[in-house]
């Protein structure tokens, strides 16, 4: 529920021009977090617009890549190798990461 509220608050502030107070009230009504924790969280998303959505998009892409790798490599799939590929090239775009995972799926000899 907390994640959903973070996404809702981030979008509310960007799309519907919510005030800081409205975003804090929204989080307070729909989560069990304490007041000061909510304020800090909302301030983080004010300072970095779209952060919550970017993180969610990244999470969904990682899951998509993992599911595809598991499906295509079947018994050859190794979660540790997969994590090594995710981390090996550092901070890259999701498209570039997808290319690395595609190479892993097709050519990794493990």
- pLDDT, tens digit, 9 for 90 and up, residues 53-105: 999 999 999 999 999 999 999 888 999 999 998 899 898 999 999 999 999 88
Domain residue limits, the chain = 2-49, 53-107
Angstrom distance (rounded) from CA 100 to CA 88: 10
- pLDDT, tens digit, 9 for 90 and up, residues 89-100: 898 999 999 999
Which positions ≥6 away from 86 have C-beta within 8 Å?
62, 97, 101
- Other CB atoms closer than 10 Å to residue 63's CB: what's the count? 10
- Is residue 110 over pLDDT 70? no
Determine contact, residues 31/1, Cβ cutoff 8 Å.
Answer: yes
């Amino acid at each position: 529920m907390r994640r959903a509220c973070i996404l809702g608050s981030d979008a509310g502030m960007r799309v519907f021009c919510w005030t800081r107070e409205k975003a804090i009230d929204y989080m307070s009504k729909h989560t069990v977090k304490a007041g000061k924790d909510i304020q800090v969280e909302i301030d983080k998303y004010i300072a970095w617009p779209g952060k919550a959505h970017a993180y969610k998009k990244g999470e969904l892409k990682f899951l998509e890549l993992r599911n595809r790798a598991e499906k295509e490599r079947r018994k050859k799939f190794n979660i540790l190798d997969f994590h090594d590929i995710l981390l090996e090239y550092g901070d890259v775009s999701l498209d570039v990461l997808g290319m690395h995972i595609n190479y892993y799926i097709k050519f990794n000899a493990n």
